Amino acid sequence: QSNSVALALELDAATWAFEIMKIARTKTADLFRQLHTDLAHDSEESKVEVERFLQIIHRSCDEYEGLTGQKTLEPQQIEQISVDRKHRLPRLADVLLRVEVDLDTGEDGDAMEPDAHRMGHILKCIEMFGNTTALSLVFSSKGKEGKITSHLLDPGLVSGPVFSSVHGAILMSGTLYPPKMYADILDLPSTKTTKTAYPSPFAGERRPVLVAGDVTTRYAQRSATMWQKIRNHIQALIDGTPGHIAVFAPSYRMMEDILGEQSFKGIRKITESRDWNKNDIDSLVETLRSEKEAGQRILLCGVYGARLSEGIDYNGGILDAVACIGIPNPPPSVLSDSLKAYAGDRFGKNNAWRYTVTQPAINSILQAMGRPIRSIGDRALILLLDNRHTDRTYIGCYPSDLRMNATNDPKTTQSFARRFFSRVHTVEEG
């Protein structure tokens, strides 16, 4: 009997959620049309107020329960399916997150499950953080109908209570730099947190950093002439380096603009694709190894934050050099504006820019710089192709023990590389 009652309640909840989502689908389509209409002529995105999204859910519930619209229900039916306003969101999210789909039952069965769960997660986020400024909803007109994405701007809202409740925790990584920023962002209890940065165990002379002072990807200075200067430095690096080289750019578009149609002498170019999967990556690593054994050189072209710059372990001294084009500052967007405004309130104006723009950009470069050095015996040359790296805004984002050398022309780049590789060699371990 109790099982029957429980099953009946489950069916009621499922029916209620299904009917609500049917009504909400129409109202959401109306919202999307309005968002498209409201967009500025030169804009592809806009901020969506959480309350506007919530109203769709509540108006759909009201309509189904007969409180608005044309539907008329018997009093006993209203009593059975009516859900108190404050419980609507969690109940709807709970049902959506428990949806299971038999993938053999329908043509679009594969799409139904993630759609239900995605909607459930958005509702959960709104339930937990919708009354704070830390939740940002963004409408984008890209695609057939556009989309709304949810972004939690403050990971500390999730991690803070966890770290406050544990007896102790150790957070350790080669890329948690600077420790204070991560302590702030994760909302670690300040009176109980010790922050320490240790010097790198890898000898600096085995990974020299060279900064090209005559190039930049700063927006106001972008030109065909500037792109050619960057290519000239890359060719000089190739001419002075004995093995494989990786080049990373801030975006796929910039990678295509600078490297796409360009052929470099003495080396074969492999360019990263957005569509690469794990098999593509695994075969690439094998190609690097076999080509190195055959005495052939490869120029890998990739993007910061993508697979080649963060998702591969180039062990065994497989890379001899890395060239880092530009600085991957995020482009202006609704999300970045929301993030900077929130960080300003949370961490203060001075920290806001560093925490949301400059430090994440430099940390992406540090990730790329670390690709070729996987053990004490490895050695590699790093070429930073943007003069802004020595500006006060950015140089303070690097570890204090990192020394930068200067080059102002391709000839200097080539001679620096040749001297380094003639003097410093990979040391086999074991």
Q: How far apart are CA 430 and CA 375, in angstroms?
A: 11
Q: How far apart are CA 283 and CA 134, in angstroms?
A: 42
**DSSP per-residue codes, 17-63:** HHHHHHHHHHHHHHHHHHHHHHS-TT-SEEEE-HHHHHHHHHHHHHH
| Paired tokens of 197 | 């940065």
Q: Cβ distance 369 to 322 under 8 Å?
A: yes
Please tell me the predicted confidence (pLDDT) of residue 72: 47
SS3 call for 135: strand
Strands 268-271 and 381-385: unpaired
Please tell me the predicted confidence (pLDDT) of residue 110: 43
Written as tens digits, the pLDDT of the chain (430 aa) is 567 777 777 888 889 999 999 999 999 999 999 999 999 888 899 999 999 999 999 999 999 988 665 554 454 444 446 788 889 999 999 999 998 866 554 443 444 456 888 899 999 999 999 999 999 999 999 888 899 999 999 999 999 999 999 999 999 887 778 999 999 999 999 999 999 988 877 777 899 999 999 999 999 999 999 999 999 999 999 999 999 999 999 999 999 999 998 999 999 999 999 888 888 888 998 999 999 999 999 999 999 999 899 878 888 889 999 999 999 999 999 999 999 999 999 999 989 999 999 999 999 999 999 889 888 888 999 999 999 999 999 999 999 888 999 999 999 999 999 999 999 988 765 4
Q: Which amino acid is at 339?
A: L
Give rounded-to-5 percent helix, strand, coil for the chain.
50, 10, 35
Q: How far apart are CA 55 and CA 61, in angstroms?
A: 10
Please tell me the predicted confidence (pLDDT) of residue 1: 58
Q: How far apart are CA 411 and CA 428, in angstroms?
A: 31
Q: Where are the domains positioned within the chain?
A: 2-151, 156-192, 204-423
| Paired tokens of 46 | 């806009």
Nearest Cα neighbor of 28 from 114, 119, 98, 125 is: 119
With tokens 């050099």, the residue in question is 321
Q: How far apart are CA 194 and CA 138, in angstroms?
A: 37
**Fold for the domain defined by 204-423:** Rossmann fold (3.40.50)
Nearest Cα neighbor of 158 from 135, 192, 190 is: 135
